[in-house]
């Protein structure tokens, strides 16, 4: 009986050490992964900030272009349409940066995961704004010919070619934008094509969610 009690005590002590070791390993994994997540999200914020700076410059240049080209309506309308779209992208970039900076990496795993998933949903919603650049195809064509050749292509271009460009914007690019707008919804977040789109708009976020899932799996094991 005494030997049995000693064996039980040894087994209990071994089990306690094992539990302590597992707890240490979980804490270590959490610390390592959270450090990686924080670095990745900081990198994403930097990329968003650079994009914001780029679109701000584009917006300012386009507004200046509109002022200079006034009262040529063809050039003014084209510049206004594109500058409005660029300004909308600036707004979405600011919102994404603000949301990313509000994330606290010291929060519990489940709360941090909730914040990252909310941030992912926000990116998807803002991508819907980006697709409306497609129907602006003709505006880009007008801008290109004026900036590179110094001509108003609407006034001087071949009418058949211009009509074909207009129809391309109306019948191809606009329906494509509408289709993408309807597809870019949070409900499609698990689709493979959505994963590829998100990967191209900030792989750091997807990597962070994967690292967080590793922590969650170990904690729930």
The count of residues in the chain is 221
Q: Cα–Cα distance between 70 and 12 in angstroms, integer? A: 85
Tell me the pTM.
Answer: 0.78
pLDDT tier for residue 54 given thresholds of 50, 70 and 90: very high
- Own/partner contacts of 102-105, CB < 8 Å, gap of 24 or more, are 103/41, 105/34, 105/37, 105/38, 105/41
Give the chain's largest Cα–Cα span: 106
Given this model, what pLDDT does residue 39 score?
86
Given this model, what pLDDT does residue 81 score?
95
Average pLDDT for residues 40-46, to the nearest whole number? 86
pLDDT tier for residue 8 given thresholds of 50, 70 and 90: low
Average pLDDT for residues 137-163, to the nearest whole number? 91
Q: What is the DSSP letter of 136?
A: G
pLDDT in tens, 66-124: 999 998 999 999 999 999 999 999 999 999 999 888 888 888 878 888 888 888 888 88
What's the Cα-to-Cα distance from 43 to each of 39, 111, 117, 203, 211, rounded to whole Å? 6, 21, 18, 10, 15
């Amino acid at each position: 009986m005494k030997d049995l009690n000693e064996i039980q005590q040894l087994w209990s002590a071994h089990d306690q050490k094992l539990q302590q070791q597992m707890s240490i390993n979980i804490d270590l994994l959490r610390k390592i992964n959270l450090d990686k997540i924080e670095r990745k999200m900081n990198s994403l914020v930097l990329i968003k900030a650079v994009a914001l700076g780029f679109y701000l410059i584009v917006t300012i240049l386009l507004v200046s272009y509109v002022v200079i080209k006034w009262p040529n309506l063809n050039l003014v309308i084209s510049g206004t349409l594109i500058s409005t779209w660029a300004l909308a992208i600036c707004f979405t970039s600011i919102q994404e940066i603000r949301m990313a900076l509000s994330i606290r990496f010291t929060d519990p795993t489940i709360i941090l995961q909730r914040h990252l998933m909310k941030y992912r949903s926000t990116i998807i919603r803002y991508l819907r704004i980006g697709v409306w650049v497609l129907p602006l195809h003709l505006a880009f064509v007008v801008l290109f010919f004026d900036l590179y050749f110094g001509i108003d292509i609407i006034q001087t271009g071949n009418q058949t070619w211009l009509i074909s460009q207009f129809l391309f914007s109306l019948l191809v690019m606009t329906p494509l934008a509408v289709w993408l707008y309807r597809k870019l919804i949070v409900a499609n977040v698990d689709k493979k094509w959505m994963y590829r789109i998100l990967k191209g708009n900030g792989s750091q976020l997807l990597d962070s969610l994967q690292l967080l899932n590793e922590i969650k799996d170990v904690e729930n094991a």
